[in-house]
Structure 1
């Protein structure tokens, strides 16, 4: 009894090995309203879920089919268009400058104002130009008076020519009579019926009439030469009149140039002219943007295979993305943009790298919106239907 008790105490003092964990999974209990634990059901498969929610499955499948059809239709439509974001509004803007110099006395326009063709943009002091016009008109009047004077001299010279011709005819008649008288006196002297004195007298009269006839001829020639001189003076006077009239026309133009007007409808921008400014001829007073504007789209050269004039274009302006505008292709530039730049590219080098070039395409807009301020330089995104 004592030995068994001693052996049992030794066995209790020996260290015991750890207990082996059970391979069975722990039981999961659920606390329900009934308070009893139940075993968890296994997860359902995807097929079972689809069967369980068959209405939602049909709706989802229908949405996917509609989305696929819409994507296909969109792709079929988009592939017929060429798009670029390298486009902008363009116009032939120019500077407004006076053609004559002077002080600016009036500027009836302001910045960004729209004006019609012929509207007054600025006015130059015109007092000097009115004086110049009066002087030119006086020169025209003087030249005209000179012509009238020469014309009167020519008319008088014509009368002198007629008088000289009459005197020449009279001298010719007297010369003819003197010749006849001298012949009769000589004949009578030869027959013995006349005297030497008579023959000498008739001969002297003949010489006098010959001199008179020569003088009449010289007077006629002088009168005829005088008319040529006057006609030459008349031509010179006509030239002086034309010159004076040209100066008058120039003076009238200079007076008109004091009114700087708009040659076409458009908008005034960058106004620098002000009343009191001394403006020189050719000095810029303002910039002018005509109403005639268009779109320049720089398409890649790989996008031009099917692009032709007349094709429809739809585009939006970045400033007004909610407004879609329409137009058509007017022309395609025969060459890339770099070919017409100040320093065109030179590709004949050993380190040549091919780069897709941009070609400007002019797009004419059907109708610009009147309620939107649109001007050159504004960015545009055009879609050109090429197929």
Structure 2
């Protein structure tokens, strides 16, 4: 009798152990009757726009006005490079600009002088034309008088010679007028060259000012500094990292398996915890989905067209915007590990978010 009871107890314990194991397996794999719509991933991290700051020119570090991890505002001076050389370059460029402007002003005065010479040459042409007309009239009168025997042959010849001289003077006046016009055209052409020289000098001044401004490295946005690597007296070149800055805006990127994203929608609520903050709950919403799996963005893309094939579930990055007005959200920093949870079950909190399936690139299949 006792042996039979013992067998029944052993059988019951074995059944309970088997049921417990089955329940554990169902729970671990999130199979029914447990909530299979709750998608969880530990492959998630806080992200932010971590920016490396570097000079655009070379020089000696003259001042480092910040320390590691210090909070700064946009425009705050971080690092200053010795600017003596760049100030002299600016002064040199400004002097070149002044000389170019002076040359342009001289060209303007030369143009006015050339225009006055043209007017004078025109007056000379008019005078020569008048003299020539008078000489031609004298010749005509002398010829008539010579034919009647009133004047001597010599007098007629003198009038003819005077007419020829007047004609030569007229031609010379026309030549001087043309010379004055060509001189004006040359001055105008030279003025265009001088105007280009002024523009080039102005551009050189602007470049020199930009270089001078670039000797001061300022914070591009509000945020906190990472490591400040610049040291007083250090020689830096263009591109040398002197500091990093992390803006206040952060978000979460959760890499869900492709089998988990079915039913996820833009705007769907997300619950997550951060390892550095313990089990404190935080919330957010799906902001966007990656256009491709993470493997497509890798430097060395895998090729499945060779050898034996083993199917491996790929992961799709999901960008999660963090809900505002959460006290712990201010403690989030890029790189922190996150555990993200999204309820995709029918009737879950995301069901009414996007009734239009176009808002979800991965609609739930039933």
Fold-level similarity (TM above 0.5):
yes
Pick one of 189, 192, 209 that aligns with 1:232. Answer: 189
Pair 1:384 & 2:342 matched:
yes
**Residues 1:212 and 2:163 are matched in the alignment:** no
- Match 1:264 to one of 221, 224, 232: 221
In structure 2, the partner of 1:134 is 91
Distance in 2 between residues matched to 1:338 and 1:371, nearest whole Å: 30
TM-score w.r.t. length of structure 1: 0.77
Q: What SS does the aligned partner of 1:84 have?
A: strand
User: What secondary structure, in the 3-state scheme, does the structure 2 residue paired with 1:319 have?
Assistant: helix
Q: Distance in 2 between matches of 1:243 and 1:111?
A: 43
Alignment correspondent of 1:187 = 144
Deviates more, 1:132-141 or 1:76-85: 76-85
**From 190, 202, 215, the counterpart of 1:245:** 202
Q: Look up the SS of the partner of 2:283 in the other structure.
A: strand
Aligned Cα RMSD in Å? 1.9
How far is 1:77 from its partner? Answer: 9.9
| Matched residue count | 314
Q: 1:279 aligns with which of 236, 244, 255?
A: 236
Alignment CA distance shift 1:143-1:158 (3 Å):
same
> Which residue pairs with 1:91 in the alignment?
48
CA distance in 1, matches of 2:171, 2:34: 109
How many angstroms apart in 1 are the aligned matches of 2:48 and 2:256? 19
Please identify the structure whose Cα radius of gyration is greater: 1
How far does residue 374 in structure 1 lie from its aligned partner after superposition?
A: 2.2
1:311 is displaced (CA, Å) by: 1.4
1:146-225 paired onto structure 2 within 5 Å:
146-225=103-182
Structure 1: which 5+ runs fail to align?
A: 1-70
Identify unmatched segments of 5+ residues in structure 2: 1-26, 345-350, 352-366
Pair 1:332 & 2:315 matched: no
Work out which of the residue numbers 282, 298, 323 in structure 2 matches 1:366: 323
Shift of the alpha carbon at 1:79? 4.5
SS of structure 2 residue aligned to 1:204: helix
1:311 equivalent to 2:268? Answer yes
Q: How far 1:346 moved relative to its partner?
A: 0.3
Task: Please give the TM-score of this superposition, normalised by the length of structure 2.
Answer: 0.81
Query: Are 1:112 and 2:83 counterparts?
Result: no
